[in-house]
Structure 1
Amino acid sequence: MDGKKTRLYEEHKNLGAKIVNYAGWEMPVQYEGLVQEHNAVRNEAGLFDVSHMGNISVKGKDALPFLDYVMTNDISKLNEHQIVYTFMCYPEGGVVEDLLVYKTNDEEFNLIVNAANIDKDWDWINEQKKDFDVELENLSPETAIIAIQGPKAQEILQKLTETKLDDVKFFYFKDDVEIDGVKTKMISRTGYTGENGFEIYLTNDDVVKVWNSLLEAGKEEGLKPTGLGCRDTLRFEAMLPLYGQELSKDISPLEAGLKFFVKLNKESDFIGKKALQAQADGGLERTLVGFELLGRGIPREGYEVYKNGEKIGHVTTGYMSPTLNKNIGNALIKISEKELGNEIDIMIRKKPVKAKIISKNFLKNK
């Protein structure tokens, strides 16, 4: 392998991680095992290296109107130190990226973007900049990010900081928090697992110390190092989309069932609004549904979906859910077939396997 390495690469190897190439990075897919790590996050806590994610700074007099122009969500409604989930869309309504926008103030924001899309996103926002008075900076190479997630995440992190973590509300962040004597760039109550937790942004030089301090502090609580394998099963169970599967240039936020994050009635115009408005006004032909497999097999991304011998769509994500112990998935299908309880066929190894459409809200108690 010759991918890029985060500063924690040697720590992962020392912990016995299985390393895979993901979006050009050599990343841990699992340590002890996907199911054990998944269950640790659901029941105790897990620690993820997500330093491969991108961080783009947007500053300047027009930072707020610029972001409202390129984002589907209403950036003008954010409080200082609040975070919002949003999309950047193409004029045709497909998705450039799904991301988090962190607001420091009206003239200073950070965009946290997917590792696989950093270069594309950087090019896109630079192309849209035009007459806006903004300065863009790609901080990705100098930013390390670790995520501690799970019911015991706050209890563990609180041992290492004097900052009162109860004061950091969901989807808010705090600057310059000290963790075990290390001053971080910021910590946020965010994550990609459906569990309570924090994402910690810091310099490459400080990340190894904080990673090891957290693992030591969380021993009694059952904290485990966790890889990208369970990150995917956790986000999928929690109805969180993955770019390239539930969202893409060819799959709009409305088709993915994420209309809540597209503010068609916000005051400012935004890229893709016209196309998305047309979809909202009755132009949707496909939609994302959840399903449970009734026969044997595991549904995988890309498998075709049929109804009465006619192809009606494809699987976007599918797994044996470690939490529910069932074979479940998401599929993008003809909107006419979306009714709950509707039986469909998933083509697994060229054979149809029965499935039924269920709510995408797989974890009803979360």
Structure 2
Amino acid sequence: MARKSIGIVMNGVTGRMGYRQHLLRSILAIREQGGLRLADGTDLWPEPVLVGRSEAKLRDLAARHGLDAWTTDLDEALARPGVEVYFDAQVTGARVAAIRKAVAAGKHVYTEKPLADDLEGALALAKLADESGIKHGVVQDKLFLPGLLKLKRLIDGGFFGRILSVRGEFGYWVFEGDWQEAQRPSWNYRAEDGGGIILDMFCHWRYVLDAIAQVRSVQALGATHVPERVDEDGKPYEATADDAAYGIFELDGGIVAQINSSWTTRVFRDELVEFQVDGTEGSAVAGLRRCRVQHRSMTPKPVWNPDLPATEDFRAQWQEIPDNTVFDNGFKTQWEMFLRHVTEDAPFSWDFYAGARGVQLAELGLQAWREGRRIEVPELRR
């Protein structure tokens, strides 16, 4: 079978997300399966060029996986023969300048979120990319998780009837870094470095909610519950960014969504994120992998009586949605779709404008918190 190589500059792969999900579980996984089979029968073979700030980390990473293309010089990487795609998994503050370099070099761009620190910057990148004629995309990984794919199956099949509300719970306890090492990098808790859970997670909630119905307004309350943390070098620092957010969103059709996001909560649920969708005909609870439902015809009739212990096993009254298919890694699935978009002009809906809509909701969420009011979400046009 014929093989076609495609060079991909991967910037920020020494970080947790860039390495685990994008290099290891996406690009290297595509190579392990023999490449990406295109419509004409050709196997597309990704050739990653690793870019980062630490020469030692890059050398170690490349050696670990049998790769030989790495550099700390982004310009040099973009100038390499055969490079067609630039991918960015850096901290948000470094993203815009790097993407501008890639666009100027004529590379197609795929990037992590947020696309930029603010809506103005995100829209400027989207316009620049369109004017340059490159293909562009933003990671929206949660759409490709098994639990949310099952939820979409229910929505498309009309299971819910009229959807009434959505309730989401996301988060876990991120250790402060003193007596146990933190699971997230310290920049996440510094607003001056682009940190904060609203900027991070509202970009996700925008595309998750839009897949149900368009978001029309936002109210949000943020908090910095843990004001001091310890960084990677063991030095205490002031946490200047929000580590929890409590949002209310109005969607088309009168749907009300409530989503709590927190890095300061301990998990008492089946998965780290869960969404409950309630409708006139049925309800569903979807997590990363599982999705359970309760249809109208199977809904019990609980009676409120605080004087007696509950005798019903409420969880047992829900039914599990079967997989009915083999689910691949969500990041890998979207990578394959973007590579098909680049090489075959296959459809790809999640471009820089989709990324800008996420930044818009985060920006309006921060404004709603700051001003203590509900804010409408205007429609973004190309």
TM range (shorter): under 0.3
Max Rg structure: 2
The answer to which structure has the higher strand fraction is 1
The answer to which structure has the higher helix fraction is 2
Normalised by the length of structure 1, the TM-score is: 0.27
